[in-house]
Structure 1
Amino acid sequence: MASDNESDAELDENYYTFLNLPRDATGEQINTAYRNQSRIYHPDKHLEPDSKKRAEMMFNRTKRAYEVLSDPHQRAIYDSIGEKGLKTEGWEIVHRTKTPAEIRDEYDRLAQAAAERRLQQRTNPRGNITINVNATEIFTPYDDSEMPRVEIGSMSIAQSIEAPITRKDMIIMSGNLYSSNGTGNGGFMIAGRRLLNKGWMEVCLGAGNGFLLGLKGGRTLTSKLTLNGGTNMNFRENGVIPAVFSSLAVQLDKHTVGSLTLNAGPQSSMSTQIDHSNDLHAISTSFVIGTPHIYFGISYTRKMMENELKLKLATKVGTFGFLGEYGVEKKVSKYSSVIASVSIGVPSGVILKLKIIRSNQSYVFPIHLSDEIVPAAVFYASVTPIIAWYIVKKTIMDPMEADRKSIEVERTKRQNEQRLTAKKFEAMAAIHLMQNTYNRILNEEQDRRGLVVKRAIYGCLNEGSTQFKPEASHDVTIPIQCLVRDSTLQLYESSKSDLPGFYDPSLGDDKILRIEYTHNDVLKTVNIKDKEPLRLPA
């Protein structure tokens, strides 16, 4: 069975490029492109047995591309997910969806359901390690004659494992350890969760600071209303300490959720929170009345998806004092992110927090720089992560990313070796079938002194040269001339390797398309990058 990474490496069909269409092609454009290619590849137009066999292969590809793009339902899935989305079972319910985001959500749900059927017995580990560093002596030294001390103030470790028993039942085991100034404590908990109709229920047993017995549950009341709650009893030497908690969440609109949370126990509180999020921004506000503090908080996140970056500002004001925070989150790989934030407040002082997230594991390093708001501490807390990121990126991450891409390209080549060979065979078959069309269009363009393609090459250049690598390029003069319509050539913003008569001569490497042509008997040459659009004459 192929892994998820292997599935990601499979080459996808680009139906738009195969029909030489833009992504926003109209129904009329799709029909016209289908008719044009059918004239070339329809088996009835070829009498020789070998040519007829090649024509059947190319016509089937043309027909498949047309079937997907001319069907609004299939096209919506293909535009959002790609060809793999069309192979996923259960898409009959997607007729109710309207937007690409909803289609992607539905695909994720179906993919997750399939994964759960395949990987039902696997566990889902989650963990958190937090190391608090005390570095206050750097900016407020006790003795100028001594080197400032940097100490580990405390450390906590938490880990949980989810083990599915059946499709509805799950065992959850979790534990935590905490150590500070030479003393520590810890706890262990095991819980059994069962999925119910529109809800769930969980019974948990724990040990650590006394024996713990708890009951939790949740239910979706309506399409916009969800209720969660529970209670636990903590049995200690000096008595039983009960606690009750509940949370009500309301979907206020498509992008906004409100919640009310009540906690009654050793630390009672009542909080309200409103979260608003879209593709560009996220805003969260909260108001908490509790023991020992009352406070109001607000945070704003700017999402810069093109750079896989998030910028965050937050503040809290209450009976404890005030706290301001600014930070940045950068996604460094498919499953990993790094976060750096600076908090400034009274009485907390200045704290630099570094966080690394790897899949479901997180590593947090709060570094306490100053008990008071010292300008030097604020400056270095802001600048140090930027310098550290630059050094790590240049010396470690960029070389690792280059190696990863190289490995990925080699893996993709191995996985798609047969498919690449088939694509090359299809390209040669297409060029063979284009010969009559090529001769007709060439004669028409020569007679009108229109766009005549003298030579077209697609592939990789030798490093530092304008010459093509013979082993990583091929002649595409015939396919390019066959795309000329009324002395005009239009290519769109996608890899040219998916055009009929083309194949990828060097997977993973940068390629260009060079066209030498005449228009009104004037010879010109144009070079474009693989995914660059082109219109001739310019």
Structure 2
Amino acid sequence: MATALSEEELDNEDYYSLLNVRREASSEELKAAYRRLCMLYHPDKHRDPELKSQAERLFNLVHQAYEVLSDPQTRAIYDIYGKRGLEMEGWEVVERRRTPAEIREEFERLQREREERRLQQRTNPKFSSRGIRPGLTTVLARNLDKNTVGYLQWRWGIQSAMNTSIVRDTKTSHFTVALQLGIPHSFALISYQHKFQDDDQTRVKGSLKAGFFGTVVEYGAERKISRHSVLGAAVSVGVPQGVSLKVKLNRASQTYFFPIHLTDQLLPSAMFYATVGPLVVYFAMHRLIIKPYLRAQKEKELEKQRESAATDVLQKKQEAESAVRLMQESVRRIIEAEESRMGLIIVNAWYGKFVNDKSRKSEKVKVIDVTVPLQCLVKDSKLILTEASKAGLPGFYDPCVGEEKNLKVLYQFRGVLHQVMVLDSEALRIPKQSHRIDTDG
């Protein structure tokens, strides 16, 4: 499945992947990985001017990664903000005075403050009266905990009222309890909204509002139908209002309301059609119109991103090929050592998007040969890859930007063939008995 590319994915080096270490790697693990790559890429080991230049560039990149990760302060900043965070101004003051834990704590504090401000803006109750000039309003707010805010509001004027409410907003839900005493409207309100953690940001909500005007029950749902559009529908059932359907479309910064009053009476048939009708229309439109449109838009956008990233991909490919040339001599020695003890030999390894038999013509474009880079990582008849994208490993690059990738390895251990396929960011440890190919089968 194709995914949108962020600028960060194209520009940032993954230092952990480059050194092939865990994000929790100790200083000893970092040092061992650094020394191993230094021996491979040290410019003095190569006499050919072209290879020497390539080795110098890769050596400097490895050194830069080790410098960042070996220093607790810069590593903490890199873990939180990424490579770009190291280029931000102001860290020269913080770096030497704060521990990694303090940096993370400061970052989390700023995040909480931003979240509280956002929550306050989103959940602050708004009361208005059309056709009547609003009076003076006073609002007091207090954070009860990280996700809960309490409000107390007074309004003086033609329509005086006092409103108190408690709003709790979390990643998966939004809950409000409110009580208003005023002239002429007094009411009690309870509402709940459940947020599904899907790509369409689906939300289901319901509320109960009772006061001097009567009682109203409202239920509905909303869903993202495109990058900038959200479609929602709600059924309102009340006494004496009757049954009505409200359709809402948010498009960028504009909101469109389509109220449809069905009946003044509480008729089960009206409630049924108000509930089922929009669902049937939505699923029909989603299947026949929205889904094909979004798929076409996504492919079009991905193609544009690939075109804009073509220069970067070409550069990564050249860097990977240069790294492979630098590895040849080391790989030859590793293979000789492994063969002498019937150890681990990488027979073939491929990285990229694997296609079915009907599309073999495009397989060369989607998959690259990474046999040499993997063999270079073999040590003492073992190969260990951490949980990170394989595209950041020396000798690798991303052959199909924005698409799901796998690593497929055919290897020999103790003279027996083994085979394994893993996801791009999945950890890998070989050899394993479970990878053994059953020749009898």
- The TM-score range, normalised by the shorter chain, is 0.7 to 0.9
**Shift of the alpha carbon at 1:507?**
2.6
**Partner in structure 1 of residue 415 of structure 2:** 521
**Partner in structure 2 of residue 292 of structure 1:** 184
Contact 1:343 1:351 survives alignment (8 Å): yes
Partner-residue secondary structure (3-state), 2:325: helix
**Partner in structure 1 of residue 236 of structure 2:** 343
Q: Distance in 2 between matches of 1:459 and 1:309?
A: 32
**Partner in structure 1 of residue 99 of structure 2:** none
Choose from 502, 526, 533 the match for 2:396: 502
Distance 1:33 1:6, change over 3 A: closer
**Of Structure 1 and Structure 2, which has the larger fraction of its residues in strand?**
1
**Partner in structure 2 of residue 251 of structure 1:** 143
Q: Does 2:197 match 1:305?
A: yes
Q: Distance in 2 between matches of 1:83 and 1:105?
A: 23
Residues 42-99 of structure 1, C-alpha deviations (whole Å, 9 max, x = no match): 3344344322211121122223333444455554554455444444445667966527
**Shift of the alpha carbon at 1:476?**
0.8
**Partner in structure 2 of residue 469 of structure 1:** 363
**Shift of the alpha carbon at 1:277?**
2.0
Distance 1:403 1:500, change over 3 A: same
Choose from 318, 334, 352 the match for 2:211: 318
Q: Does 2:426 match 1:419?
A: no
| Higher mean displacement: 393-402 or 475-484 | 393-402
Contact 2:80 2:104 survives alignment (8 Å): no
- Percent identity of paired positions between Structure 1 and Structure 2: 40
Distance 1:317 1:490, change over 3 A: farther
Partner-residue secondary structure (3-state), 1:357: strand
Contact 1:459 1:469 survives alignment (8 Å): no
Q: Distance in 1 between matches of 2:290 and 2:399?
A: 29
Q: Distance in 1 between matches of 2:364 and 2:183?
A: 75
Residues 107-163 of structure 1, C-alpha deviations (whole Å, 9 max, x = no match): 99xxxxxxxxxxxxxxxxxxxxxxxxxxxxxxxxxxxxxxxxxxxxxxxxxxxxxxx
Q: Distance in 2 between matches of 1:99 and 1:380?
A: 53
Q: Distance in 2 between matches of 1:85 and 1:388?
A: 47
Distance 1:364 1:451, change over 3 A: farther
Choose from 293, 315, 322 the match for 1:429: 322
Contact 1:9 1:415 survives alignment (8 Å): no
Which structure would you say has the larger RCO, counting Cα contacts within 8 Å and 6 or more residues apart?
A: 2
Distance 1:241 1:55, change over 3 A: closer
Distance 1:337 1:241, change over 3 A: closer
Q: Distance in 2 between matches of 1:259 and 1:406?
A: 46
Matches within 5 A, 1:111-510: 243-307=135-199, 308-465=201-358, 467=360, 469-510=363-404
Distance 1:102 1:266, change over 3 A: same
Distance 1:74 1:285, change over 3 A: farther
**Partner in structure 2 of residue 55 of structure 1:** 55
Q: Distance in 2 between matches of 1:356 and 1:496?
A: 42
For 2:281, the aligned partner's letter is A
| Higher mean displacement: 377-386 or 250-259 | 377-386
**Shift of the alpha carbon at 1:532?**
4.1
Contact 1:76 1:100 survives alignment (8 Å): no
Which consecutive unaligned segments of at least 5 residues does structure 1 have? Answer: 109-219, 229-235
For 1:311, the aligned partner's letter is V
Residues 244-294 of structure 1, C-alpha deviations (whole Å, 9 max, x = no match): 111112223322221111111121111012212222332221111112221
**Partner in structure 1 of residue 38 of structure 2:** 38
Q: Distance in 1 between matches of 2:165 and 2:94?
A: 33
**Partner in structure 2 of residue 13 of structure 1:** 13
Q: Distance in 2 between matches of 1:48 and 1:105?
A: 55
| Higher mean displacement: 412-421 or 88-97 | 88-97
Residues 140-192 of structure 1, C-alpha deviations (whole Å, 9 max, x = no match): xxxxxxxxxxxxxxxxxxxxxxxxxxxxxxxxxxxxxxxxxxxxxxxxxxxxx
For 2:390, the aligned partner's letter is K
**Shift of the alpha carbon at 1:10?**
4.3
Q: Distance in 2 between matches of 1:74 and 1:355?
A: 48
Contact 2:10 2:312 survives alignment (8 Å): no
Which consecutive unaligned segments of at least 5 residues does structure 2 have? Answer: 96-101, 125-130, 433-441
**Of Structure 1 and Structure 2, which has the larger fraction of its residues in helix?**
2
**Shift of the alpha carbon at 1:410?**
2.3
Residues 325-382 of structure 1, C-alpha deviations (whole Å, 9 max, x = no match): 2332323444332223223222222333222222322222232233233222323333
**Shift of the alpha carbon at 1:405?**
2.2
Q: Distance in 2 between matches of 1:303 and 1:407?
A: 29
Distance 1:352 1:37, change over 3 A: farther
**Shift of the alpha carbon at 1:104?**
5.9
| Higher mean displacement: 473-482 or 278-287 | 278-287
Partner-residue secondary structure (3-state), 1:501: coil
Q: Distance in 1 between matches of 2:23 and 2:40?
A: 23
For 2:185, the aligned partner's letter is H
The Cα RMSD (Å) is 3.4
| Higher mean displacement: 262-271 or 404-413 | 404-413
For 2:41, the aligned partner's letter is Y
Normalised TM-score (structure 2)? 0.80
Partner-residue secondary structure (3-state), 1:253: coil
Distance 1:523 1:275, change over 3 A: same
Partner-residue secondary structure (3-state), 1:457: strand
Choose from 105, 111, 119 the match for 1:98: 105
Normalised TM-score (structure 1)? 0.67
**Shift of the alpha carbon at 1:510?**
4.3
Contact 1:302 1:312 survives alignment (8 Å): yes
For 2:105, the aligned partner's letter is K
Contact 1:77 1:103 survives alignment (8 Å): no
Partner-residue secondary structure (3-state), 1:425: helix
Distance 1:42 1:359, change over 3 A: farther
**Shift of the alpha carbon at 1:384?**
2.8
Distance 1:340 1:519, change over 3 A: farther
Contact 2:150 2:166 survives alignment (8 Å): yes
**Shift of the alpha carbon at 1:6?**
8.6
For 2:430, the aligned partner's letter is L
